[in-house]
Structure 1
Amino acid sequence: MQYSNSGGNILAASELLDSILTRFQRGAVISELESEFGLKRDHLFYLRNINSKAIQSLALMVNARSAVTLNVDVEKLNLLLSSCVNANNADVNALLRNVDANFNGLHAIEYTIANQYIDLIYSELDLLLDASKQVKFNAPPKTLSLLSGLTGLKKSIVPFVMINKGVFTFDIDLTAFTFALRAFDAKYSQVNEVISLIKMGADFDFVKTYNGYCDVSIQYFKNLRKIFDIQTFSTEKLAVKKKLDIYESFNGSLKSEGTYKKAVIQAHIACNVPIEIVVKVIKKFETEIELDDEILESQLDELHRLLP
């Protein structure tokens, strides 16, 4: 959650995505979420099947287009904050008992969003301590004033009260959201191919040359190898028969699959060895064949020279 560059909106793509995925995990169906969030069925089908590791990247692309913003009913929020500020100990204890009775793990994502919003406002209060800075406050002045009067337990109950009274909702620009999803899907397909090759044990040259979509930096390659615990592979301890099997599998696949990349991947699958090993074995055999051809050609030349 963050303010837009203009400061006029609170960008909340990550919070929306987390809310939708949480609702799916609770057993919600597409039709329920259509009416709850105002998204189209195609959007929700796509999000239901998205890989969890891609959520943050998608959120960044959605936020870049300001497609999802958090709409806060400031008037309602200020009334709630005013009640919390003026609450006595008995009121606070009553609210805490209500929280204990009515809130559970099912409200975790809603609580997180409300708490993040409060933290966002409090971060502006912190700026009041530095008089030398030129500060532009994005939060409503009345809200800032009321929050400055909250401490301890009173502050801790604010997110629960916000959830209970329905203070915030999501505003979604469907056109911008659709564009972001399409752009992300294209980018994700590219990166996913790179990740797939790395997980199959391909070396840097193979990944860079045959991922088919995008440029890959050596640092990115090294980082992903560490993440997936992929080692550098050697053919030294590989049995001769295994090497022959790999090369035969590659040649057989090359005839049927038609491309070098597909044949290498097929040999990787068939022989259960990393792509890096497959490539090294192929290069070794082809080098030896070329060397044998050169030796044979040299011997024939010498024979022709000696013969009358």
Structure 2
Amino acid sequence: MAILKIENLTKTYPNGVKALDNVNIEITNGMFGLLGPNGAGKSSLMRTLATLQEADGGSVMLNDIDVFKNPTELRKTLGYLPQEFGVYPKITAEQLLDHVAVLKGITNGKERKEIVNYLLNKVNLYEKRSQSVKGFSGGMKQRIGIAQALIGKPQLIIVDEPTAGLDPGERNRFHNLLADVGQEVIIILSTHIVDDVRELCSNMAIMNLGKIVYQGSPITVIDELRGKVWQKSIERSEVADYKTNFNVISDKMVAGKPIIHVFADANPGSGFENVEPNLEDVFFTKVNLQS
């Protein structure tokens, strides 16, 4: 079993932004969700783990590999799908995977061909192997991105905002692929999409302003909110007043009217009803009430 230990990780950019503020996480095999709003520090953490930038302090160990002292060793066992997965303009799916296999040190041509064909089948793109990747749909590009990340039998796979922009069908196919792969390795799924974490991950962390504000299982933290989330339909003109007078977790439009969720130990007043909390409530509680 692979174990990733992140201890006291810090990173401040030259403009003074503290992207990582004493981050501590321990992750084992399976899907691990890293949830947070845009600008929370998720991508900074992912780039640091992928050895694309250096930290100011702290340590990262993948089993017995010291990531900062031996980045080359880490890269041998790393799969990485960044938020923006760029490709050469005219390269085919088959050529792309073959090229990445060469970069990963697989020098035997026959072995490379077997690996490429296996991965193209795994991500259901074998029939598209001779087509230019540039012309692929968003979902197809993400699947070929996962295929390249799987080359070299990685122990750690990092995927950064993988379902942003995908239609519901492509998103479901990508989820199924991640769940299949995640049984054997560590997959860190960095996203601001709550549903991705709820549907895929048994363990998670919520990040905000460079800090880890929660780490554990989605089920446990949802249980902690039970009996403390209250819902009410209000007029649009009332939203500002309610935000001033109550701990409003979130507000969203339903059938043209705002529905607010409020955090309170007891019924906050007339018209509120207690509702079963969900991971979205957890996310907004941790981010909006603790920032």
* Larger Rg computed on CA atoms: 1
Q: Which has the higher contact order (CA 8 A, sep 6+)?
A: 2
Structure with the bigger percentage of strand: 2
TM-score (norm 2): 0.27
